[in-house]
Chains A and B, each alone.
Chain A
């Protein structure tokens, strides 16, 4: 089969940066072509050009050998291109079917033919194994289902080439597996897929070929079967990468935080955390593994004082802290890397320097004469952290939203870690970050551990849990269903427990245990 899409020497400049530098790339008909690179390497920009959202400064795009001009997404759709964005382009208040048919509505005299629309959407969904109810409101469906709606939108518009921009970033491991199955179905039925990601594991799992971008340039294209984790990581980062975190065995000391019999309600008033007891000692990382939405977030929010537990105790050095409220809990020596950095950890409209003192801003040395900001200390603090934690660009005056996700996260890590906390809570600390930033943050977490901090790590990434934790607790349906030393855990065993498997069954019986329950 020939090339369906040829990208020929595409160059795109933004003020101050070359996002794509003469990138050439061929996508064969019927393949799943992975496009990988770190954040900011230009992979999304390149595909936005193909989809007509940006115009290239030079270079050309050929579809089925013919040169095409794509001025806006409408042209792209007409040419048989479809794109699923990282941020979904769905209208919450409309139904699944309405979103799919929008601007290509089946109609009778300009009246929408809803029956036909729903039938057509159901038929398409069926054909590709995308389980979805056409009549459901988008506001009521899960993120994974929203993604299916986006894919349906493209298929409904007869997309022959489907571009998926970091589709797995928002999915749970189970949803990712389902997506991969859908991608295989699509390939079988002749759709070509360009799959943007920065997770090498996924590239290896699903793609036929892979192209790597780094700083706007194509590093190379490989057949997936002929490459491996190590080569791809090096191509992406441009140097050798430590795939596993190097660390000494932990030397746990006295208990720092003790949680006992904790019950926490979620927003609807039903118990999200049920009878959780945990002990976190000096110099150890306790990892909480679990599919998202099994009470992890509520647990963390109760410990940090953001919500109030129904019953149970949280003790820090033997003293109860729940009644203190977030600010005073923080002052007791607890640091918190929140799950959602935009909502909780940062004020995006403030500059970097001010973000670096959030939560410390009422305390000396950042306050003078009890009332005034000490600009000198704030600036000095910022300069020091920006350098030490390699926050780029290294300018504390920049507004936070202008920084990349990785650097925003580094700023939170810098602020929280530099306080030398006694108890550190990290919730999804590397979500959405690229390899370089992940490596950095992992190293910092281990460094904190080694200087004696007690660490609670919550993550949906099993790799992260396995490589950082000394003790692993598995959370399922609000309960800690198993606590095991890291050496005794592996991905299979954790995956089994995370889905509600019986912890008392021996490993060999695990599979049967799942089907039995």
Chain B
């Protein structure tokens, strides 16, 4: 009885969908981790994703190669990250204000560009997308193969990225230094670490990763750009980062949880629960997660505070 309900919502198909929905969150939350571990709040993830989604589509449109589009998204996200870094590290603009400005700007910029380049409103023309692949041996494993065996390459890229960011943060000298910068920049400075450079690089990388997350939406998951297509995923990625206590695997788990809510939401629509209620599910889950856990998660200590040399 109840078991059938569980299986209806929790099965390989839904979990595979959850992973797909989690992918943009994974990219952006890894970006968020890098930025915040360096001490810079990146509330502009949303705008960076949106820019990446648009530029990924645009580059793909002109080159007809979505892989080149992905690189375009990476670079454009990095440029937006650079803007945030210049504002917050060099000019010491309030980090939340700068991030918010980026979000508003990205919303307007993509709408404007869509009109200018394609003379359309709302949705871009269809472009090439990165096709899903089947991984030879993996797909034959029961259950796991059904979840992981047949996915978009960008999904695999996201999973590799999580491992890479983890190794970077907790096992390399750069990661150690970056964490020191985010916790206690003056201490880092007195042993000769260049705080400003570390923060610049972290925030640029943060934008680049968020850009990839956005591009996944426009040239891998779908094959076109739509106005505001990130739909708050940058903020959900921030929530995943906090929920995951600023660790890559924690954020991965949280992203999958949010992705799962998104996937279940699609199922619930099939059952006939009013669509608008169902659509709220991932967002409600985000709020519950944050309200329940934020008290126990401690952000990097210098976060939000610009560093000034004595």
Binding site for B on A (CB under 8 A): 53-54, 72-74, 77, 85, 89-94, 98-99, 102-105, 107, 110-112, 153
Contacts and interface: CB of A to CB of B under 8 A. Distances in A.
From B167, B173, B180, residue with most partner A Cβ within 10 Å: B173
B183 interface: yes
Given A91-B183, A93-B179, 4 more contacts: A54-B310, A102-B187, A105-B176, A112-B173
A93 B184 CA distance: 10
Contacts of A93: 179, 183, 300-301
Contacts of A102: 176-177, 180, 187-188, 191, 193
Nearest to B170: A112
Interface string B175-199: 0110110011011111111000000
A110 B174 CA distance: 8
B276 interface: no
Contacts of B176: 94, 98, 102, 105, 112
A103 B192 contact: yes
Contacts of B172: 110-112
B171 interface: yes
A89 B192 contact: no
Interface string B185-219: 01111111100000000000000000000000000
Contact of A103 (B167, B186, B191): B191
Nearest to B189: A73
B179 A77 contact: no
Contacts of B180: 91, 94, 102
Nearest to B193: A103
Contacts of B189: 73
13 contacts: A73-B192, A77-B191, A85-B190, A89-B190, A90-B184, A91-B180, A91-B187, A93-B183, A102-B188, A103-B177, A103-B191, A104-B191, A111-B167
Given A105-B173, A105-B176, A112-B176, A94 B191 contact: no
Contacts of A104: 191
Interface of B: 167, 171-174, 176-177, 179-180, 183-184, 186-193, 300-301, 310
A102 B191 CA distance: 7
Contacts of B187: 89-91, 99, 102
Given A102-B176, A102-B188, A110-B174, A53 B310 contact: yes
Given A74-B192, A103-B191, A92 B173 contact: no
Q: Helix, strand, loop or mixed for chain A's interface?
A: loop
Contacts of B179: 91, 93-94
Nearest to A53: B310
A89 B186 contact: yes
A265 B310 CA distance: 41
B193 A92 contact: no
Nearest to A157: B191
B148 to A, nearest CB: 28
A112 B171 contact: yes
Contacts of A105: 173, 176
A512 B213 CA distance: 71
Nearest to A106: B173
A72 B171 CA distance: 28
A241 B301 CA distance: 44
From A54, A77, A103, A107, residue with most partner B Cβ within 10 Å: A103
From B183, B191, B301, residue with most partner A Cβ within 10 Å: B191
A401 to B, nearest CB: 16
A343 to B, nearest CB: 18
A112 B175 CA distance: 9
A105 B172 CA distance: 10
B174 A73 contact: no
A85 B310 CA distance: 14
From B186, B190, B192, residue with most partner A Cβ within 10 Å: B190
Given A77-B191, A102-B191, A102-B193, A94 B183 contact: yes
A72 B188 CA distance: 13
B199 to A, nearest CB: 16
A72 B193 CA distance: 11
A75 to B, nearest CB: 9
Nearest to B186: A89
B261 to A, nearest CB: 31
A73 B191 contact: yes
Contact of B173 (A73, A99, A110): A110
B301 A92 contact: yes
A461 B187 CA distance: 30
A111 B170 CA distance: 9
